[in-house]
Amino acid sequence: MQLSGNISKMHTHLNRGVAQYQLPIGDKLLSMNDLVGEEITLSFDQTIHCQNCGKQTNKSYSQGHCYPCSQKLASCDLCIMKPETCHYHLGTCREPQWGLDNCFSPHVIYLANSSGAKVGITRKRNIPSRWIDQGAINALPILEVDTRLKSGELEMALKQFVNDKTNWRQMLKNEVTSVDLLAIRDQLLSEIGNTIESTGAQTLDNEALEINYPVVEYPSKISSLNFDKTPTITGVLKGIKAQYLILESGVLNIRKFSGYNITITY
Ligand SMILES: [Zn+2]
């Protein structure tokens, strides 16, 4: 079988505790879980299309955009990576309506274990996809607020006590030890009482969620595959974790190649 078209970040959801992946390719959605254990070939035909305007671009900016769109879209602005720098109140949001729809909506502050305990934030409606995209094996929502800015303020407060980064090599090798997220939550919430009060955050009383990944064999060393250097990538698909395909020959970060025109043979 063969499918061709522009690819983008895999769609993810949970089914009975197992992460499910669908690769958007052209106008199709390919269920990737079904291909684990199979030999696949991905070929890049050297064309990239902007995910927003569809125009061809020589290089991909902000994960799949042409340069003008990367400068124009609110979703490509720095404040999306650093929510505490939300500048909507200054009247400088790149797309005020997008800002209202996306940043003035419920946001959740969570703890997750992807390569050790970390803190993160997400729009509430992106749960649990956000956690799957990061390769978390456990996740626990701890606080909810009504704007992205407040979630950024709480994350900044929590970052004094807990990591906010994933060591992606460790995550992909599955070198992850279990941690007691509930105990860490209780400790952390007692440290940031002032910020909880000033943001009006609601504390959440959830159990930690467990996420399993469709992986038959984790790699012992990590080498990154890249369509710009290797236009044809082939081998047995050993598994999928976060937004990575784990192949015999290395790991491929699908998200990084959003907008690339690919032919997949399986
Ligand atoms: Zn564009």
How remote is the CA of residue 99 from the centroid of ligand 1, in Å? 19
How remote is the CA of residue 81 from the centroid of ligand 1, in Å? 20
Averaged pLDDT for residues 242-261: 97
pLDDT, tens digit (0-9, with 9 covering 90-100), for 137-178: 999 999 999 999 999 999 999 999 999 999 999 999 999 999
**Which pLDDT score, from 0 to 100, does residue 108 have?**
98
Contact 44, 51 (CB under 8 A): no
CA 252 vs CA 17, 169, 172, 188, 258: distances in Å: 24, 12, 11, 35, 12
Task: Extract the runs of DSSP E, i.e. beta strands, from 114-243.
Answer: 117-123, 138-145, 202-203, 209-210, 232-241
Contact 165, 114 (CB under 8 A): no
How remote is the CA of residue 93 from the centroid of ligand 1, in Å? 19
pLDDT, tens digit (0-9, with 9 covering 90-100), for 61-110: 999 999 999 999 999 999 999 999 999 999 999 999 999 999 999 999 99
How remote is the CA of residue 65 from the centroid of ligand 1, in Å? 5
**Which pLDDT score, from 0 to 100, does residue 168 have?**
96
How remote is the CA of residue 45 from the centroid of ligand 1, in Å? 19
How remote is the CA of residue 185 from the centroid of ligand 1, in Å? 41
Q: How confident is the model at residue 263 (pLDDT cuts 50, 70, 90)?
A: very high
**Which pLDDT score, from 0 to 100, does residue 139 have?**
98
**Which pLDDT score, from 0 to 100, does residue 264 have?**
98
How remote is the CA of residue 122 from the centroid of ligand 1, in Å? 25
How crowded is residue 194: how many other Cβ atoms within 10 Å of its Cβ?
9
How remote is the CA of residue 50 from the centroid of ligand 1, in Å? 5
How remote is the CA of residue 48 from the centroid of ligand 1, in Å? 11
pTM of the model: 0.94
How remote is the CA of residue 79 from the centroid of ligand 1, in Å? 20
Domain boundaries, the chain: 2-65+215-265, 72-210
**Which pLDDT score, from 0 to 100, does residue 19 have?**
98
**Which pLDDT score, from 0 to 100, does residue 13 have?**
97
Give the separation between CA 52 and CA 15, rounded to whole angstroms.
30
How remote is the CA of residue 242 from the centroid of ligand 1, in Å? 26
How remote is the CA of residue 10 from the centroid of ligand 1, in Å? 20
